[in-house]
Structure 1
Amino acid sequence: MVEPRRIVIVGAGLAGATAAGALRDKGYSGQLVVLGQEEHRPYELPALSKGLLLGETEEPAWVHDEATYAERDIELRLSTVVEGVRLDTHEVVTADGTELPFDRLLLATGSQPRRPVMTGVHLPGLHLLRTLDDSRALRAELVEGRRVVIVGAGWIGCEVAAAARRRGCEVIVVEPNPLPLHRLLGDTMAEVFRDLHAAEGVHWGLGYGVFGFTGEEQGRVTGVMLDDGSELPADVVVVAVGAAPRVELAHAAGLDLASATSTGGVEVDACLRTSAADVFAVGDIASQLHPRYGRRVRVEHWANAKHQGAHVAGGMLGDEAPYTASPYFFSDQYDLSLEFRGVADPLVDELVVRGDLAAREFVAFWVRGDEVRAAMNVNMWDDVDALAALVAGDVRVDRAKLVDGDLASLLG
């Protein structure tokens, strides 16, 4: 394969910046351009809802040192908006009219938080959390004694609730489902997180929907209107109702998407190549035909962005190896730390628990047939290598041994 003369990466987040570094690691010597909308150089997202929001750190983890880009001849163009991709002429067009030719293109445009369409959603004091600037702005508002209402009880909503309580705020979380993280974890595991937050002083508004936000005459948010007609007073509101993959460029360019509504991500094959041979996609937007699961999988977590970014460099240089890593993420809430591996469906998979739920020291397995589809270790770290192998491999397991046996012995 002839080495491409110029590779353009659209998206200066973890996936895009990791791919750029990996391309140089693999010996790519051509032109390498990374385009990012933010003014900050590429950084990792986990600290935004954890250490940075808590005030434990002032900066996120940067993907590369600032000097790395110049030293490795990676042209990093920040504060740059890409308006279009021309597949026929192999060009990327930026908002200022610049036309950048490419031989290979990587789309790593990430996700954007969902902003519901309802009254008052743009009021000052109402926050979404996705960027470094978002996190810094929200942290400045988490002042002791303030009333914070969080809309949404997914991972981000729960982590923000933990940070707000640690900073002395009064917190209520509103969620239409009967339990936090319910669709992701099922009843038993969701109850663990409900009880954890309740013990830390979080008030739950479970089973309630939100239909708008109220504000004072000067415009700042003052309340959250619920679907039963009541209103929750609020000094600060955080809307954490999920994220949508940023597929607009791919859609306009004519790349195949994973759903007719343009919200399911960009279709990529096992090697992360899109429907256009010279265009690849990674991270939040990539809906991959995953060899492990036999179906399309789209993951919005940190490890996926990092690992796909590293892997796709080979594909862009001619390597046909598929991406086979299982999804992984971690969360920290108060004194609870966890790691989650795999893909679970609580409605289908059987839950098997090892350890002590009441002490919040356990491993949860989601088992389908005699195969571990996912595992979550909570405040237990001795068997992480075995857990990774059980989730990633084609291993037949005995449920009784998952509960109290030697996990490493199950690997054969």
Structure 2
Amino acid sequence: MARVLPLDLLDLDDSLTDEERQIRAVVRQVVDDRVRPHVAGWYERGQAPVRELALEFGRLGLLGMHLSGYGCAGASAVAYGLACLELEAGDSGVRSLVSVQGSLAMYAIWRYGSEEQKQRWLPSMAAGEAIGCFGLTEPDHGSDPASMTTRARRDGTDWVLSGTKMWITNAPVADVAVVWARTEAGIQGFVVPMGSPGVAAREIRQKLSLRASATGELVLDEVRLPAEAALPEGTGLRAPLSCLTEARFGIVWGALGAARECLHVALDYAVGREQFGRPIAGFQLTQAKLADMAVELQKGYLLALHLGRLADAGRLRPEQVSVGKLNNVREALAIARQCRTILGANGVSGEYPVLRHANNLESVLTYEGTAEIHQLVIGQRLTGLSAFA
């Protein structure tokens, strides 16, 4: 009997438009050409050519691709999701570069910034010529951003920022940071050029996950900014949380890419690997694993596609994104771990991408809201009661 790939079992491509399939094909090709041949080395060295990748992705229109104007592609939410899936099939760190650039830093400026801020930053960020980061998480305040200690105070017409942000993707290579700080009036967003006096980015080393991603600590020591550095509409905690919702949508799709890659590798390996005189793919226990993983992958894809269609219709709610992030990352991690068992000892070798994806997904499970946070978001919607405090 002829083999089919997992996402072909239900003919899911029929749910996409021709344009969506074309965008997917372009992104898949650039991942094949620019990422897959090199990513194992990037991961091993803990360093990727972020600026080169940003320029490549900018030429393709992938940075802020779901935004409109200012050099952005204005693509659909589903097209953006498919791009995230293909990017993360290469590596979660590569997709993180695009997500943080477009859905966090660029989206914050696009949604809450002044026209001057948009004109100053968005075209160069869309082109990959300027790289952005998003400073919300702090060393002691991850899941509880409302307790942030980074402060912004007025000094004449200027703002003065002091504080530390932690686990900030792109920070070591960024040209601009969107930083959230506490003021006398509440939470406020600021556009901070990384060359400003008092700004320092320290790269986080010894990571065992997302090693092909630049991650840093952002330190602000009495950073003086003009009044126009504040995001005019970026006030209150809802503003940064809405940016997180944008990024989580990309993760809903991206995690499926890592899972799909692991499952494809495990399938090929199982068909070619012989034990006891036959391919291990012919054993019932192996087929049970493969079947269960294929079913979960397809369910996750259908969930992501449904959320994408809701987003394109302007009806997507934050708790619905939480459903997608919770389910798809959790299932993707389970798939990666299960695929590792099919590869046996080879599953821990860098020759195969499976354990790299599993390690990366451990971070994806945590960032942009832990699994527990999304459970509480969903629980609050179901019960009408908050369990956060």
TM-score range, shorter chain: under 0.3
- TM-score, normalised relative to structure 2: 0.23
- Structure number, greater radius of gyration: 1
* Greater fraction of residues in strand: 1
Bigger relative contact order, structure 1 or 2 (CA pairs below 8 A, ≥6 apart) = 2
- TM-score, normalised relative to structure 1: 0.22
* Greater fraction of residues in helix: 2
